[in-house]
Chain A
């Protein structure tokens, strides 16, 4: 299951800072076995974001796509990201694919 977490609050306000999605995904970039291998082989600077938490732009809104498979790598990561979204009152949508 995938979620889209929008950079907009339930009240329609812009969530700040504007690069929040990139920062959040950077923090969770470790939680992907492929990236972890790349990190070991080529160093931290070569590693990209986790495939399970990616920044994106949806309808001109900076957002993140969260894949619940992140929970298979680190069970607390899924809860953390969902809690982060609800603590900040962000709009969360279930994604079909």
Chain B
């Protein structure tokens, strides 16, 4: 029997009106994921307040979401810290790890930052968060431990935008659009060919 299976997620940037959903998504992540991401145990109040501060300063906070059939599998928070620097925070839902989702989101987020003239990319994580450290290394970030050994800062210089990087961003946008369309038709196709 023919079955259509669009397993790869489609990535998209959130509108400011959707930032609250990011707070809800975070609150649904397991405790360990949140502790690894923030470095401290966090409460719903903390998440709500933090996301509210992103809404209030939405020009400097952007979210790339990996989505499959409306379900968020992972997010990249892009914080613009000044005219030249951006900071990424990557989370992938526990159930969807080791599928290359973070890798794909990183690639797209880096292109986004490059094409908008940012020069320095920073990422922070706890030293024992090996998947994020590996992700940083894979994307060319220089990983450095802080003196107290608990936290790691990774950074890299982003190459300037080029015709090729702008073309790549458009290609990724189109790919995401096609994936979204195919995902929305997945059920119909499968019913049709059953």
Question: A residues near B, CB below 8 A?
Answer: 14, 16-19, 22-23, 26-27, 29, 44-49, 55, 57, 62
Q: Is there a chain A Cβ closer than 8 Å to B43's Cβ?
A: yes
Looking at the complex, which one of A18, A23, A47, A62 makes contact with B43 (CB distance below 8 Å)?
A47
Contact with A along B50-84 (1 / 0, CB 8 A): 10010011000000000000000000000101100
Q: Is there a chain A Cβ closer than 8 Å to B128's Cβ?
A: no
If A14-B85, A17-B124 touch, does A26 touch B57 (CB 8 Å cutoff)?
no
Inter-chain contact A48/B45, CB cutoff 8 Å: yes
Q: How many residues of B contact A (CB 8 A)?
A: 22
Q: How many Å lie between the Cα of A16 and that of B120 in the bound state?
A: 13
Within 8 A of A (CB), among B61-114: 79, 81-82, 85, 87, 89
CB nearest neighbor in B for A44: B43
Interface window among B2-10, B11-19, B34-42, B169-177: B34-42
Query: Main SS of the interface on chain B?
Result: mixed
Closest chain B CB from A8 CB (angstroms): 10
Q: Is there a chain A Cβ closer than 8 Å to B118's Cβ?
A: no
Q: How many Å lie between the Cα of A44 and that of B47 in the bound state?
A: 13
Query: CB-CB < 8 A to A26: which residues of B?
Result: 38, 40, 42-43, 46
Inter-chain contact A27/B56, CB cutoff 8 Å: no
If A22-B49, A57-B53, A57-B57 touch, does A16 touch B38 (CB 8 Å cutoff)?
no
Inter-chain contact A55/B79, CB cutoff 8 Å: no
